[in-house]
Amino acid sequence: MTDHRKLFIPGPTEVLPEVRAELSRPMIGHRFPECAELIGSIIPLVQHMLYTKNMIYLSTSSGTGLMEAAVRNCVRETCLCFVNGAFSKRFMQIAESNGKKTIPVEIDWGKGFSARMVEQALEQHEVDAIALVHNETSTAAMSDIYGIAGVMKKHPEVSFLVDMVSSMAGVKLEIDELGVDVALASGQKALALPPGIAVAAISGRALEKARTVQNRGFYFDFLNVEKNYAKNQTHITPTIPHLYAMKKQMELIIDEGLENRWQRHHQMAERVRAWAGEHFEVFTEEGYRSETLTCITNTRNINISEMNKKLAERGMVLGNGYGQLKDKTFRIAHMGELTLADIEELLGAIDEILGH
């Protein structure tokens, strides 16, 4: 494929050739022992990556499906929704459209949530769950998940639902220590899988809660997942090609070494932030800047689609701003399998195009 553009967009991300090759294996039955073995081999690797013993749900859906699953299973009545961008807004809309009461806590786009903000909101409102987006991909704001987790420990009766769609597998997230009840992600972001599979770590407390929640539906019912989990099976036909690919990718992630992986993401983030500060401005508030992508204010008013046309000639593509931030900002993803060398190649090309 000569016309492939290397993806510096925040999902889908580059998938390694050996992982892509796994998608073309001959099909097996999802009730065959081979399939249970396959699922059973992936789960401990995911648990290792997430520092957890929680149930791992490999969902045949995109990440949004699991956002819906989180609210359907773990919001009995009212959910406090922390909104600082497009995806956190979506999380709230998903809760509303599933008939849940929502209370928004809104801050400006580009800002992140601190422990204090969550603490104050919980003092003011009686809720049975909170919905938080750890890494708000529309603005590249990463909220203080460890600080917030400290606050949530004082509210064990409140379900802690966290979208980690664009941070999981790019940042160290110790799920058991954090006490997150539903930690969910899409495959096609920092996990570097083709789109079509999503992952969640679901706590025992979340399963207990689900037993008390009405109208969980069928497809995403955590109790259906739990029933089949002990047998390494799924209650629906899963995306078997993705399971093969995921097994390979998880092995590669473990081979790289988790600390190396977190460090690689950190180094790429630092490099892009320094470059952005030199030539533009980082859009996101300091202290909350994401490790997996950078959102850059288009201070020089460059034409982003023209930039992407010129980058395409060099076999690359970056992300425009999201929604209302389109053309006002642009985003460089540094997640998944990208390396510092890839980042240097991209920044070098942009410098050349802009005549820096």
- Residue ranges that bind ligand PLP, judged by CB under 6 A: 11, 62-64, 87, 133, 135, 137, 163, 165-166, 186
**Closest to ligand PLP by CB, 185 or 316:** 185
Shortest Å, Cβ 189 to ligand PLP: 6
Shortest Å, Cβ 185 to ligand PLP: 8
Q: Identify the DSSP state of 221.
A: -
- Let me know if 27 is exposed, middle or buried by CB neighbors in 10 A (0-12, 13-18, 19+): exposed
Shortest Å, Cβ 11 to ligand PLP: 5
Helix segments in the chain, DSSP class H: 17-21, 33-49, 63-74, 86-97, 115-124, 145-152, 175-178, 204-210, 222-229, 240-256, 258-279, 304-313, 340-354
CA dist., res. 181 & res. 6, Å (int): 35
Give the closest residue to 133 by CA, choosing from 83, 198, 171: 83
**Closest to ligand PLP by CB, 167 or 298:** 167
Shortest Å, Cβ 314 to ligand PLP: 26
**Closest to ligand PLP by CB, 197 or 268:** 197
**Closest to ligand PLP by CB, 11 or 238:** 11
Shortest Å, Cβ 321 to ligand PLP: 14
Give the closest residue to 244 by CA, choosing from 24, 13, 5, 92: 24
Specify the 3-state DSSP secondary structure of 90: helix
Question: What are the b/e assignments for 186-195, b being 16+ CB within 10 Å?
Answer: bbbbbbbbbb
**Closest to ligand PLP by CB, 134 or 207:** 134
Shortest Å, Cβ 63 to ligand PLP: 3
Q: Is-contact 256 100, C-beta < 8 A?
A: no
Q: Is-contact 81 159, C-beta < 8 A?
A: no
Shortest Å, Cβ 135 to ligand PLP: 6
**Closest to ligand PLP by CB, 83 or 349:** 83
Shortest Å, Cβ 14 to ligand PLP: 16
Q: What is the distance between the terminal CA atoms of the chain, rounded to a whole angstrom? A: 31
CA dist., res. 71 & res. 49, Å (int): 24
CA torsion angle 204 63 138 135 (round to 10): 30
What residue type is 89 in one-letter code? K
> For the residues of 241-287, what is the DSSP string, one character each?
HHHHHHHHHHHHHHHH-HHHHHHHHHHHHHHHHHHHHHHSEE-SPTT
**Closest to ligand PLP by CB, 13 or 35:** 13
**Closest to ligand PLP by CB, 145 or 349:** 145
